[in-house]
Amino acid sequence: MKIVVAGTGYVGLVTAVCLSEVGHTVTCVDVVEEKIKMLNEGKSPIYEPGLEELMLKNKEKLTYTLDSKNAYKNADVIFIGVGTPEKKDGSANLKYVYQVAKEIAENIEKDTIIVLKSTVPIGTNSKMEKFIKANLKNNVKIEVVSNPEFLAQGTAVRDTLYAQRIVIGVNSEHAEKVMRQVYNGFDIPYVITNRESAEMIKYASNDFLALKVSYINEIANLCEIVGADVSDVAKGMGMDSRIGNKFLQAGIGYGGSCFPKDTKALHWLGNFYDYELKTVKAAIEVNANQKLRLIKKARKYYETFEGLNVAVLGLTFKPNTDDLREAPSLDNIPILLDYGAKVKAFDPVGENNFKKFYPNEIEYCQTIEDTIKDADICFIFTEWEDVKEFDINKYKELMKKPIVIDGRNCYDLSSVEGKGIIYESIGRKVINIKK
């Protein structure tokens, strides 16, 4: 079976490499010459643990090319895994999906199953099938299949190879049979449904998880007022099997390539059909406010940031990725700079991407020690292991004023008490310097 994957981002590249891992020969197509060059050199254009190792292991089964015409023409199955970024109104931008669809229609020379892996609004698979059929240059048969991904950045390889389910939206037994052949090497249960339901499963799943994150953050904020500890609250909630303990980590909100755009896209779609998804709307609003929670906490200690030395630990939206999309750092650092702060930042892998936004405005450090040295305040935006395992005593030793505002609850309160620092986190009591 000849498999082609369009797009070499998180979805496309991880899908291609994992399909090669179970025995398929896969061709990856992209329009960005630099990415294809990197891939042919054995380097991944994205930071994802375990991905380059699998690329090397399966290099004989993987091809990377800019030549979409030759790649598509004899493919048995073509996966579309290109981005669907949000538009200004919150709707999904399907420009890149339809660009690929047009290329496929113009170049395939045999019957082909086309699999839409990208996250798209409900009804897109059916519309795309009509679009491809209308633009076919050769007398061939095509079917479009909805096969949404459920990978998380930082664990994408594991999430693909050992997924909890494979969702396949099809309109024929033939398409189902082909997709079962594609995934024959995966020991994972199937959910076979129509295309619209498969599309909705993706949005409903992501938006539900976003709801959990915003809900626990709301509870955390109230915990601070009433004297409860959100860590204990989340533990008690999570032990209930009906709730589960995942996505109950209080913090400064969700980010990344999925939750922000998927909540906005589903909310937009509801409004398009004159139906407001009130819970999804609330999750979006709560998340936007939560991202600025640390700035508000810092106001208790400084009326202005003018001339302050500010340390920032973590730039990416989560650990084990270099992705900055919707990262809290991109909301907070501009505010700090606007108010005259001198910012030093540390991130194990996100520095180069952040420099695209702020090449010279902040100082980038290679160690946490250098970042916090002589700082008046320290903000933690990402729960990197480097941060979680950092010697807490060094905050007092190195900072001018040992004030740590932790947006990811990296430290147990018991480990911070008596260390001579002011420590504020999310949904927990404030640790003050004991006199």
Q: Which residues are catalytic?
A: 258
State residue 64 phi and psi, 5-degree precision. Answer: -120, 130
- Minimal CA–CA distance to 29: which of 52, 58, 9? 9
Inter-residue contact 329 to 293 (CB < 8 Å): no
- Minimal CA–CA distance to 343: which of 323, 365, 367, 369? 365
**Tokens standing for 243?**
């709730």
**Tokens standing for 112?**
């082909």
Q: Which helix (H) or strand (E) holds 99?
A: helix 95-107
> Cα angle vertex 242, ends 244, 187, to 5°?
65
Specify the residue for token string 């700090």. 336
Rounded to whole angstroms, how far apart are CA atoms 159 and 35? 23
What's the half-sphere exposure (Cβ side, CA atoms, 13 Å) at 174? Answer: 10
User: DSSP readout, 317-349?
Assistant: SSTT----TT-HHHHHHHHHHHTT-EEEEE-TT
β-bridge partners, 25: 2
- Minimal CA–CA distance to 251: which of 297, 296, 214, 196? 214
CA distances from 19 to 70, 97, 163, 281 (A): 20, 21, 13, 36
Tallying the residues shown for the chain, one arrives at 435
Rounded to whole angstroms, how far apart are CA atoms 131 and 311? 51
Rounded to whole angstroms, how far apart are CA atoms 156 and 429? 35
Amino acid at 138: N
**Tokens standing for 363?**
């100082």
Residue 172 DSSP one-character state = S
Distance linking the first and last C-alpha atoms of the chain = 71
Helix axis angle, 278-290 relative to 195-226, nearest 10°? 50
Inter-residue contact 312 to 377 (CB < 8 Å): no
